Structure 1
Amino acid sequence: MKILVAAAGRHGGTWEIAEEIGRALVSELRGSAVVRVARAEDVTTVEEFDAVLRTMKVWLFSSGPVGTPPKPAEDPVDVTRLMTLSGARGHVVFPGRIDRSLLRFGERAVVTALRVEDGDYRDWPAVRAWAGEVAAALKPARTREVSGHVERG
């Protein structure tokens, strides 16, 4: 099975979550999958993959809320339309990280207004658990023994 995990973001935090999801999928699927983690802008075709888009199995994730408690409290993106268009089986929002040195002026202003401290608020066990749920949905009835690995695209 070939799985694509595509991610887009400005500051690298979402990319790191995508990489962790890729590693967790390979681990959970115990060698029955090849996972490619790629930047969304670099994906030109999905024909070679078994899990990605509408005719395939799709899951969406977002990252962004930061701080304790996470701010903003609401989902940073309205994904209802995107889920409908993509036929996604689910969507989850993971907390992100803040590094003001990577932010644009407007972004720094928002973070300051929200009174969020710099820090990594990502919940790696939650990321791996979600990837485990996706892997469980992708597992064939009988897992084939092949070597699995993560490819970086």
Structure 2
Amino acid sequence: MNVLVSVASKHGATAEIADHVGEVLRRRGFETTVLHPEQVGSVENYDAVVLGSAVYAGHWLKEAKDLAAGIADSHPLPLVWLMSSGPVGVPLKPDEDPVDVAGLVESTRALEHTVFAGKIDKSKLSFGERAVAGALRVPEGDYRDWDSITIWAGTIADILDAEMPALQDP
């Protein structure tokens, strides 16, 4: 079974999550490719796609949204999981979904959308980004929960294991 893991990452922290998810899936025996969205020409050769994005002001980056549109137009649709990375600070998870992805979930028929806490390294931010982070009192630090990310990737592998016979039937 071929799996694509693709995330849009502005400063690299979300890409590190993609690499980790890809490694978990590989260890579980799946042929897994990790690519940036702009490197993906088509999802035709993939049975499943894990698509994600860093989140800024509640929105995904354009390249991830563009790939989601490509997935929505593909036939047949692969199995799709969506993930967002970006909330930082305490509390890490607001009561409401901090990401506007309802349309993407619907168009890709994603099985799930999950939100992971992100990482802020102010040394990697532009002057404007640092100004906004300072004005909003965005705390610097790495808030990613690697155990939760590993468990989530393992759950995807479990579902793919269960789906594999159905996908292989002609």
Quickly name the TM-score band, shorter chain normalised. 0.7 to 0.9
State the AA in 1 paired with 2:43. Answer: V
Runs of 5+ consecutive residues of structure 1 not aligned to the other structure: 144-153
Structure ranking higher in helix proportion: 2
Kindly tell me: are residues 141 and 65 of structure 1, through their superposed partners in 2, closer, same or farther at Cα, counting changes over 3 Å? closer
Q: Which residue of 2 is the match for residue 22 of structure 1?
A: 22
- Quote the offset at 1:111 in angstroms: 1.9
Q: Which residue of 1 is the match for residue 57 of structure 2?
A: none
CA displacement 1:73-130 (0-9 Å, x = unmatched): 7544211001011110000010111111211233223321332332111110010011
Q: Which residue of 2 is the match for residue 108 of structure 1?
A: 130
Residues in 1 aligned to 2:99 and 2:163: alpha-carbon distance in whole angstroms? 35
Kindly tell me: are residues 135 and 107 of structure 1, through their superposed partners in 2, closer, same or farther at Cα, counting changes over 3 Å? same
1:51 to 36, 41, 48: 48
SS in 1 for 2:80: coil
- Quote the offset at 1:63 in angstroms: 0.2
Q: Which residue of 2 is the match for residue 138 of structure 1?
A: 160
State the AA in 1 paired with 2:83. Answer: F
Q: What does residue range 25-104 of structure 1 map to in structure 2 within 5 Å?
A: 25-27=25-27, 29=28, 31=29, 33-52=30-49, 53-54=71-72, 55-70=77-92, 74-104=96-126
CA displacement 1:8-66 (0-9 Å, x = unmatched): 01100110000111111222x3x2x1110100111011121111245110000000011
SS in 1 for 2:79: coil
State the AA in 2 paired with 1:66. Answer: V
- Would you say how many aligned residue pairs link Structure 1 and Structure 2? 140
4+ residue segments displaced more than 6 Å: none
TM-score, with normalisation over the residues of structure 1? 0.82
Structure ranking higher in strand proportion: 2
Contact 1:66 1:72 in 2 (8 A): no
Residues in 2 aligned to 1:57 and 1:64: alpha-carbon distance in whole angstroms? 24
With CA pairs under 8 Å and 6+ residues apart, which has the higher RCO, 1 or 2? 1
Kindly report the root-mean-square deviation, in angstroms, between the aligned alpha carbons of the 2 structures: 2.1
